[in-house]
Chain A
Amino acid sequence: MQKLVALHAQEHKHFKIKTEAVESVGSHERMIPVVMSEFIKLSVQYPIVFTKNIETGQFVLVALMGFEERENLFWKNDEWDAIYVPLNVTRQPFFIGADAQTKQHLICIDIASPCISMEEGESIYQQDGSESEYMNTIRNRLSELFRGEQEAAGFIDILGKLDLLVPLSLDISFANESHHQVQGVYTIDEEKLQALDKATIGELHAAQYLRPIYTMINSLSHIYGLIQRKNQRLENA
């Protein structure tokens, strides 16, 4: 269970973060929420798709890590086997919260996280009480995520209005002849995209949405990479 508290210079003075443990936070995530500013780096290895938020039913952007529940095929030999690890993992164990009274955004830390140590790892604060270089990186990651969520909302809204989202229906057979039906995953309807009139395409272009759209469509080829990883895992099992 997470336990989020506001980050506090005095209280968390001696806290250190074991960065190698951070990645293990995502080791059992089948989908990891992502933002558009990461697309270029993500698109080297991950399928980028939409899924529905379990609480709200609203679409969110995620990178696909596996097929079964709690399956992350990029987690191999206790480490992340990929060139790039999504921001939502590397920012751990920090979150953006809001002050109950002022509603102002503030940084929170999950004090139940196994990445926290008093002995080893990256310090959050320097001797003089100012934030460390490491914490500065975290801050940048958090603000990138925060901006990214708003950006994604606009993107998804337009795609929804243009009726461009479609369920991704994939029936996959693995090497051991087991079958899997990908469910709850959505992508962009390429045919409908092609059929859009010039003016609408122009609007998407002006909003700088065309590139992420094509990045997402192209990233689907990485599903084959995922299948390969799954087959390897089945073989080794």
Chain B
Amino acid sequence: MKKIRSVVVVGGGTAGWITAGRIAALQKKRLGKSQNATDKAVQVLLVESANKPPIGVGEGTWPTMRNTLRQLDIRESDFIKHCDATFKQGAKFSGWVTGKQDDYYYHPLVLPQDFSQVDIAPYWLWQKQQQQTESFSKAVCFQEYLCEQNQAPKNIRTPEYAGIANYAYHLNSEKFSRFLQQHCMEHLDVKHLVGDVTGVQSQPNGDIESLVISGQEAPLAGDLFIDCTGFSSILLGKHFNVPLTSCEDVLFADTALATRVNYDSSDAPIATHTNATAQNAGWIWDIGLQTRRGIGYVYSSKHSSEEAALAELLRYTGGQVNEADVRKIPINSGYRQTFWKNNCVAVGLSAGFIEPLEASALVLVELSASMIAEQFPATRELMDIVAKRFNDTFSYRWQRIVDFLKLHYVLTKRQDTAFWKDNQDMTSVPESLQELLQLWRYHSPRDYDFTSNNEVFPAASWQYVLFGMGFEADYSHTYNPDSYSSNMANQAMMKNKGMVDRCVAQLPKHRELIDKIHQYGLQSI
């Protein structure tokens, strides 16, 4: 039986370094420092091209990133200092329902109050039918209040990776991959090679035997090859010819115009949520880092010309950027039919990409890296079993993400542009999402509605978007306002009000906490 001893990761973007790091870190933890550890260890080598820089966008993350960094043995304070990173507590969707001035809702990262004990949604809906009530996100969760006031999710005494409110990060993608590189090389024994992969040598069974690298005489052999080459997908896409399952007829965005805007002053407030503002043919992301904001328009080129999109973006930035500072990135919306073929698995953009709404790309990188590291196949024979599971798991996850992103569009009431009207066309809605929407007319989203334990987004996230978008539902046939659970829901809402007062009174401003982390650092306990 052939043991899997050497892993070759191709590509040095965030996907490459996270995957290399997770495998190396877990090996290190499992083997410890014992004498024979080096004989047993799996060698991880990362090769990257000097000519093709990483994509350099991708600034929004999920709370999973906290665990990923911790698994890599990274100190949170170091990460925040070196990656221009800030705290993200959710997303604010403006203009997605009616497009009017007061149209917005939040998708916070904190679950609805007492979510594991009681579902507040039916009670909230009933209240809404009786009288004017607060928005769903405000009624069930305190985090929107923190976001509206640029308040941090923790204070300087909260240990690293712990939060008073749940959080993820906004980060500078270029700095992040350089930071990961240094950490992986210095602390996790990941080897690094610079060169372009120009060819592949195969074994009779189709496995990759070795890679031809520019400037290297001998080809680079390995047991497992991980394709993290971004959109070029040179191994899975080009060598193995695994086609892309397109999502363009569901999610229309196919182009991004990305730019950045500096703050007016070094003490300007930093937003602690992603601003996602609807436009004529898509939406604009606006992400606050420590030293600048990253802004970009994701749009459908079938619904807008580049000139019109550029004009919308420039208008959004209030004249603070000009055309020369805007970078165009085409998006080929879709994911591979399989992700793991023979002894090659793709992670990151090479595996697929759909528009960055809800920042799902890095989550998938983290989940992929984690599964490869945790279920690392000991032998070549086992690899086929792991590969099958990996493919099933991630095909499912991509479908769930597509459904979840489409949910943000399908419930819009906007009739002002073709883009929003086309999004309401039921033929563009996957059957799986149509079924869920039918279920949810009669009960609110709950974890039982999903058939797998591989969900990327919890039922709470579906609730926030569903009710944030003003979904019309009627739960009256199964719902009684005098019941025990209504009482519990009412109590949970009162509790949430208490949390609002306490958190708003106690938590520092986001900028203030970031400054303090630079000055003092967070404690690990």
Contacts and interface: CB of A to CB of B under 8 A. Distances in A.
Nearest to B159: A167
A54 B157 contact: yes
Given A56-B516, A56-B520, A58-B520, A166 B156 contact: no
B20 interface: no
A97 B99 CA distance: 57
Interface in B140-168: 155-158
Interface string B504-525: 0000000000001001111111
Interface in A53-97: 53-59
A167 B159 CA distance: 11
A52 interface: yes
A184 to B, nearest CB: 7
A57 B157 contact: yes
A46 interface: no
B247 to A, nearest CB: 45
A165 B520 contact: no
Contacts of A59: 523
Interface string B301-341: 00000000000000000000000000000000000000000
Chain B contact residues, majority secondary structure: loop
B181 to A, nearest CB: 25
Q: Output the residue of B155, B157, B516, B521 with the most chain A CB within 10 A.
A: B157
B156 A55 contact: yes
A57 B525 contact: no
A14 to B, nearest CB: 42
Contacts of B525: 165-167, 186
A163 to B, nearest CB: 8
Contacts of A184: 157
A184 B155 CA distance: 13
A52 B523 contact: yes
Interface residues of B, number: 12
A47 B340 CA distance: 58
A172 to B, nearest CB: 21
A56 B156 contact: yes
Interface string A143-185: 0000000000000000010010111000000000000000010
A59 B520 CA distance: 11
Contacts of A54: 157
Interface in B111-133: none
Nearest to B156: A57
Nearest to A166: B525
Interface in B164-202: none
Contacts of B516: 56-57
User: Which has the most chain A C-beta neighbours within 10 Å: B521, B522, B523?
Assistant: B523
A230 B190 CA distance: 56
A95 B516 CA distance: 25
Contacts of A58: 520, 523
Contacts of A53: 157
Contacts of A166: 525
A171 to B, nearest CB: 18
A57 B520 CA distance: 7
Nearest to A184: B157
A59 B523 CA distance: 9
Nearest to A57: B156
Nearest to B519: A56
Contacts of B155: 57
Nearest to A165: B525
Nearest to A163: B524
Nearest to B517: A57
Interface in B24-65: none
A53 B519 CA distance: 14
A197 to B, nearest CB: 13
Nearest to A186: B525
Contacts of A52: 156-157, 523
Contacts of B521: 57
Contacts of B157: 52-54, 57, 184
Nearest to B523: A57
Nearest to A53: B157
Interface string B443-485: 0000000000000000000000000000000000000000000
A163 B75 CA distance: 13
A166 B157 CA distance: 14
A54 B155 CA distance: 9
B495 to A, nearest CB: 19
Nearest to B521: A57
A165 B158 CA distance: 15
A193 to B, nearest CB: 15
Contacts of B524: 163
A56 B516 CA distance: 7
B78 to A, nearest CB: 15
A4 B158 CA distance: 31
Contacts of B523: 52, 57-59, 160
Contacts of A163: 524
B92 to A, nearest CB: 29
Contacts of A160: 523
A52 B160 CA distance: 13
A165 B525 CA distance: 8
A155 to B, nearest CB: 15
A54 B506 CA distance: 12
B510 to A, nearest CB: 16
A146 B520 CA distance: 20
Nearest to A54: B157
A55 B516 CA distance: 9
Specify which of A52, A57, A167 lies most central, judged by the most chain B CB atoms within 10 Å of its CB. A57
29 contacts: A52-B156, A52-B157, A52-B523, A53-B157, A54-B157, A55-B156, A56-B156, A56-B516, A56-B519, A56-B520, A57-B155, A57-B156, A57-B157, A57-B158, A57-B516, A57-B520, A57-B521, A57-B522, A57-B523, A58-B520, A58-B523, A59-B523, A160-B523, A163-B524, A165-B525, A166-B525, A167-B525, A184-B157, A186-B525
Given A57-B158, A58-B523, A167-B525, 4 more contacts: A52-B156, A56-B516, A57-B521, A59-B523
By Cβ-Cβ distance, the 6 closest A-B pairs, closest first, are A57-B156, A52-B157, A56-B520, A57-B157, A57-B520, A58-B520
